Amino acid sequence: MHKLAFLRIKETVVEGKGFKTLRFMFNRKVRPGQFVMVWIPGVDEIPMSLSYLGRIKGITIREVGESTKILGSLKVGDSMAIRGPFGRGFERLSGKTLLVCGGAGAAAVLPIAEEMDNRERVDIAIGARTKDELIFEERSKMYSDNVRTSTDDGSEGCEGTVVDLAKHMMKERKYDFLQACGPESMLSSLLKVGKEHGVSGQFSLERFMRCGVGICGSCVINGKRVCTDGPVFWGEELESMSDFGRSKRDESGQKIGL
């Protein structure tokens, strides 16, 4: 499963300001929420959620550092290498589900909607800082009749955070589950809102990862290795972690506040 796979890029798509999707053939089975380690020779190896899980899979990059800018510069026909998939993904749930996507977190969450057998079973909330950074809105409408957006500056959809939007949607109708990915502060707030409305959930947690297989310990949070025990955790698991929503470790292993 962990053997390095060398792939050729079949398609590139600009999704929004600073966001780009790379599509490629990758025949390994992947669950929504699982990730791969993407190798950038001479630079780094970084974890990326798979944003497309069909015959032609994909990763969606937000260009924020050296590694992601190099990936974002790749073109059709260029080669890339990945290991994986790794980690525990989202479960396939049977109840009414609200998917909550914060920024680049939409890449990990949207594949859940694609495997739903009934578009009435899933509602989708997508949030970003501004209109130009909203991604996958039109794609979401292929799988759900109730897709809503929020932006921090009010340039599209509801003005405010995606947690504000999710709270409003939970007041409107009853959900059985939340499934979400986004910044940890967002997940922490969403977990509290879900509890207020009696909705349990699964949340994809981001931590610095070096190996992807639980050896290096760089992603440990309160005894759990995010790369193997997660990255998707149930809310009850996160509540037992004293560092969740409060602190994480940087590349040197130093604990820093969120």
pLDDT in tens, 56-98: 999 999 998 899 999 999 999 999 999 999 999 999 998 999 9
- Our CA dihedral for 80, 84, 87, 90, rounded to 10 degrees, sits at 70
pLDDT in tens, 40-53: 888 889 999 999 99
Please check the confidence at residue 3 and state whether its pLDDT lies above 90. no
Q: How far apart are CA 103 and CA 158, in angstroms?
A: 15
pLDDT in tens, 152-184: 999 999 999 999 999 999 999 999 999 999 999
Provide the pLDDT confidence category of residue 216 given band limits of 50, 70 and 90. confident
* Residue 1, pLDDT score: 52
- Would you tell me which CATH number, out of the four given (3.30.450.20, 3.10.620.30, 3.40.50.80, 1.10.3720.10), belongs to the domain 97-257? 3.40.50.80
What residue spans define the domains of the chain? 5-86, 97-257
Q: How far apart are CA 143 and CA 124, in angstroms?
A: 9
Q: Which fold has domain 5-86?
A: Elongation Factor Tu (Ef-tu); domain 3 (2.40.30)
Q: How far apart are CA 199 and CA 175, in angstroms?
A: 6
Q: How far apart are CA 9 and CA 53, in angstroms?
A: 15
Query: Three-state secondary structure along the chain?
Result: CCCCEEEEEEEEEEEECCEEEEEEECCCCCCCCCEEEEEECCCEEEEEEEEECCCEEEEEEECCCHHHHHHHCCCCCCEEEEEEEECECCCCCCCCEEEEEEHHHHHHHHHHHHCCCCHHHEEEEEEECCHHHCCCHHHHCCCCCCEEEEECCCCCCEECCHHHHHHHHHHHCCCCEEEEECCHHHHHHHHHHHHHCCCEEEEECCCCCCCCCCCCCCCEECCEEHHHHCEEEEHHHHHCCCCCCCEEECCCCCEEEC
Predicted model pTM? 0.94
Single-letter amino acid, residue 82: I
Let me know: does 103 contact 169? Beta carbons within 8 Å.
Answer: no
